[in-house]
Amino acid sequence: MQEKKTQEHIDWDEYFMAVAVLAAKRSKDPSTQVGACIVNQQNKILSTGYNGFPIGCSDDDFPWTKEGDFIDTKYAYVCHAELNAILNNPGTIFQNCRIYVSLFPCNECAKAIIQSGIKEVIYLSDKHAQEPYMQASRRMLRAAGVKLTKLQPQHQRLTLVLQEDLI
């Protein structure tokens, strides 16, 4: 008798969101780690990104501070996860792709998402939904016809085992 496929697998949405969440783990931001994963219509990953300082701007020299003069805070320098994902694979056509994000994109990332041709945003958290910049983001994404989908994952947790003798 033929063996059946395992029921232990994760679906595409959970897989790509998990990649976005894993990418977020690379961020050095002590307060909020954000990840993004761009996928085409054939379910192939075209790019990933996380929030971090631009190339050449060392994490040791630039501030991760939230408070104080703008020029002394991270907000002046950090490149958002979504923008990094778009820029990390230059020359790629993202037309009709979807972007998986751990946090709903801000208005600046929304502009880049729309202009790059991405047609769906799939997100985990929109905890800043009431902030004006998030309302502006939603307004632009809706006007541009970008589908907005809050992922309802079947698994709350996925465990990765990286130690050889535990696999």
Told to judge if 120 belongs to the known catalytic residues of this protein, a careful annotator would answer no
- Check: CB of residue 80 under 8 Å from CB of residue 34: yes
Minimum gap (Å) between residue 125 Cβ and ligand 5HU: 10
Q: Where in 63-82 is the site for Zn ion (CB under 5 A)?
A: 80
Asked if 108 and 118 touch (Cβ cutoff 8 Å), the reply is: no
Among 66, 127, 147, 150, contact with ligand 5HU (rule: CB under 6 A): 66
CA-based angle 138:142:148, to the nearest 5?
Answer: 75
Beta bridge partners of 121: 99, 148
Taking CB under 6 A as the binding criterion, the range among 6-14, 74-82, 87-95, 151-159 that sits at the site for ligand 5HU is: 74-82
**DSSP at 22:** H
Binding site for ligand 5HU (CB under 6 A): 29, 31-32, 34, 51, 66, 74, 78, 80-82, 103, 105-106, 109
